[in-house]
């Protein structure tokens, strides 16, 4: 029996997860990035991934989002109330989980040419059939909270500074109240004021009951949001 099916407060349960990269262009070299990962996250928890550089923190986060393909194990998430297996799920099921359940805040914005900032931020809400005026007012308030200057809202972020792009990205990723959120260094390279604004958003998402797993390099950020730590040991030797 899985714990997630017994305990409704568990939002994600990972069992015996393994990820190996096979580099075919380099004679089939295998890199064992992750082995035997077991973890669970509950509502209102923020689990911080710790471990040296190269331990597989980003790889784990990407596996949990369905972006990397694990070789073995199980990732059960509570999707629309039901424990749902991500590994081996059809693309359209993973996309449905990402639309309604699983948010991802990454460091880098994959710029979509020509889409204005305000529309980019509204998009996750519109795809959930939130009415347009509500989507717009929520987008305006999150952009204000993140200090994105109003004269930029009508422009595509491709030409913005790195910090501005990062805040637009965070606004887009956090506008919808995903039940589970994955955070890949959301505060890296932000100045003090904006770092506080982002940590504030994360803390309030956690307090409303979101289950979170994140990578935070700075100690202050960890202290502000973490409820627990999951430590990955350094990378295993290539087989």
Partner 1 sequence: MTEIPLLEVESLTRRYGRRIGCQDVAFTLWPGEVLGIVGESGSGKTTLLNCLSGQLPPSEGRVSYLTRDRGAVDIWEISEAQRRLLLRTDWGLVHQTPSEGLRMGVSAGANVGERLMAVGARNYGEIRTEALHWLDALEVDRGRVDEFPDAFSGGMRQRLQIARNLVTRPRLVFMDEPTGGLDVSVQARLLDLIRRLVSELSLSCVIVTHDLGVVRLLAHRLLVMRQGEVVEAGLTDQVLDDPQHPYTQMLVSSILPV
- Token representation of residue 75: 């990732």
Question: Is residue 67 near partner 1 by the rule CB under 8 A?
Answer: yes
Burial class (CB in 10 A: 0-12, 13-18, 19+), 175: buried
- CA neighbor of 181 nearest in space, from 225, 223, 120, 224: 225
Question: Is residue 81 near partner 1 by the rule CB under 8 A?
Answer: no
Q: Which of 27, 53, 81, 113 binds partner 1 (CB under 8 A)?
A: 113
In degrees and rounded to multiples of 5, residue 30 shows phi and psi of: -110, 130
Q: What is the dihedral of CA 58, 60, 66, 72, to 10 degrees?
A: 150
Q: How far is the CB of 24 from partner 1 (least distance, A)?
A: 4
Question: Is residue 112 near partner 1 by the rule CB under 8 A?
Answer: yes
Using CB under 8 A, which of the segments 10-18, 108-116, 177-185, 214-222 binds partner 1? 108-116
Using CB under 8 A, which of the segments 40-48, 59-67, 198-206, 227-235 binds partner 1? 59-67
Using CB under 8 A, which of the segments 1-9, 66-74, 202-210, 214-222 binds partner 1? 66-74
Whichever of 24 and 151 has its CB closer to partner 1, that residue is: 24
Using CB under 8 A, which of the segments 112-120, 139-147, 167-175, 230-238 binds partner 1? 112-120
Question: Is residue 115 near partner 1 by the rule CB under 8 A?
Answer: yes
Strand partners, 80: none
CA distance 64 to 85: 11
Whichever of 100 and 138 has its CB closer to partner 1, that residue is: 100
Q: Under a CB-based contact definition with an 8 Å cutoff, are residues 103 and 127 in contact?
A: no
Q: Which of 87, 96, 188, 203 binds partner 1 (CB under 8 A)?
A: 96
Angle at alpha carbon of residue 88, lines to 84 and 91, rounded to 5°: 85
Question: Is residue 155 near partner 1 by the rule CB under 8 A?
Answer: no
Q: Which of 23, 177, 189, 228 binds partner 1 (CB under 8 A)?
A: 23
CA distance 34 to 235: 8
Angle between helices 192-207 and 132-145 (to 10 degrees): 130
Task: Give the binding site for partner 1 (CB under 8 A).
Answer: 21-25, 62, 66-69, 91-92, 94-96, 110, 112-115, 127
């Amino acid at each position: 029996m899985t714990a997630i099916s017994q305990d409704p407060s568990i939002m994600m349960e990972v069992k015996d997860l393994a990820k190996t990269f096979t580099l075919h262009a380099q004679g089939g070299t295998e890199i064992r990035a992750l082995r035997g990962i077991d973890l669970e996250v509950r509502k209102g928890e923020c689990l911080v991934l710790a471990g040296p550089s190269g331990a597989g923190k980003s790889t784990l986060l990407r596996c949990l989002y369905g972006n990397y393909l694990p070789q073995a194990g199980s990732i059960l998430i509570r999707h629309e109330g039901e424990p749902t297996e991500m590994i081996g799920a059809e693309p359209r099921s993973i996309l449905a989980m990402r639309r309604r359940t699983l948010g991802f805040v990454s460091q880098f914005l994959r710029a979509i040419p020509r889409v204005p900032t305000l529309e980019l931020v509204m998009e996750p809400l519109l795809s959930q059939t939130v009415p347009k005026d509500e989507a717009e007012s929520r987008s305006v308030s999150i952009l204000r909270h993140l200090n994105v200057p109003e004269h930029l809202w009508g422009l595509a972020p491709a030409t913005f500074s790195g910090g501005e792009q990062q805040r637009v990205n965070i606004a887009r990723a956090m506008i919808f109240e995903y039940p589970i959120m994955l955070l890949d260094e959301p505060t890296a390279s932000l100045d003090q004021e904006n770092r506080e604004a982002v940590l504030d958003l994360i803390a309030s998402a956690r307090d409303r009951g979101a289950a979170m797993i994140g990578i935070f390099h700075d100690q202050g950020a960890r202290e502000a949001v973490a409820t627990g730590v999951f430590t990955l040991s350094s990378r295993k030797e290539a087989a």
